[in-house]
Amino acid sequence: MNGRHGTVVIIGNFDGVHIGHAELVRRARTAGGGGASRVVAMTFDPHPLARIQPSAAPARLTTFERRAALLSECGVDEVIRLQPSAALLALTPEEFIEHVVRDVHPVAIVEGQDFRFGKGRAGDVETLRQLGTRHGFSVHIVPPVEAVMTDGMVAPASSTLARWLLSHGRVKDAAAVLGREYELDGIVVKGDQRGRQLGYPTANLGTECLLPADGVYAGWAVLPDGREVPAAISVGTKPMFGGVSRLLEAHLLGKPDVSRWSEYGWPIRVRVSRWLRDQMMFESVESLIRQIEADCRRAMPEGAVTA
């Protein structure tokens, strides 16, 4: 890591890279003076709780690769992945600055007002300021950025809030927090082929990202060739067929050639745009098919160009 000079550092999980994170980067771009300093993001992956208390670790909003790409789009010059080993998590706040952060030669560190760091989250903003005085970097604290919900309510943007909104099917409100519609990256995996048997083949997404609440959504699939096609997205257990595990399936709406991307092994990105309805039980397969037809009509954006 040696050789870097005049960096501005931001430290955190940055899961989801929401509007608060984007503001942190924006402020970091100018914190070094004249905007000439490189911005370095140090991000923990996986979340430290995955090592300390795995059952309490939050579900991911983004893969590390997607998180790094989003941070770069915001203006970060370099993303450093910090794996939360036992040795790293045992560092005191001062040791963390001395043995990890100082390697990138910070002239400034930019953080939110609730920033905590070091063993047991013992360090706070005041600790950071004291260490900055000792080690020669300035500290800039950014106030929370508020997101406006569809009902007019206002709340500070956070990854925790985005997860809560998604778990309640409030995908438009989650988009207000994230600054974009929620996306899940994954690989098409083999399912029970039930959709194919019903005449509506689906791409079953194998993903480590948080699944939104059970239900049917309108959205988009970003294909490996770069095209974006409308999709009817189902999340749930398929109770009519005795399912237990929660799955995300996307039926791609468009020209026949897009169906080949439903084959196993292809990497795709699913973007969740609108809630359509709850997961339902049906009296017959025929009534299920009629509902799928209606879902597909509602999921198709007006005037959409289908690949």
* N-term to C-term CA, the chain: 44
Tell me the three state secondary structure of residue 119. helix
Query: Length of the chain in residues, anyone?
Result: 307
Q: Which domains are assigned to the chain? A: 7-143 (3.40.50.620), 145-180 (no CATH), 182-299 (2.40.30.30)
Write down the pLDDT at residue 32. 78
Segment 55-76 shows an average pLDDT of 97
CA 248-252-253 angle, to 5 degrees, is 140
Q: In the predicted model, what is the mean pLDDT of residues 174-182?
A: 99
Instruction: Give the β-pairing of 203-206 and 106-112.
Output: unpaired
pTM, 2 dp = 0.93
> Is-contact 275 255, C-beta < 8 A?
no
Q: Encode pLDDT of 270-297 as tens digits.
A: 999 999 999 998 889 899 999 999 999 9
194 has a pLDDT exceeding 90: no
- What are the contacts of 121-130 at 24+ separation with CB within 8 A? 122/92, 122/93, 123/92, 123/93, 123/96, 127/93, 128/93, 128/97
pLDDT tens-digit readout, 109-141: 999 999 999 999 999 999 999 999 999 999 999
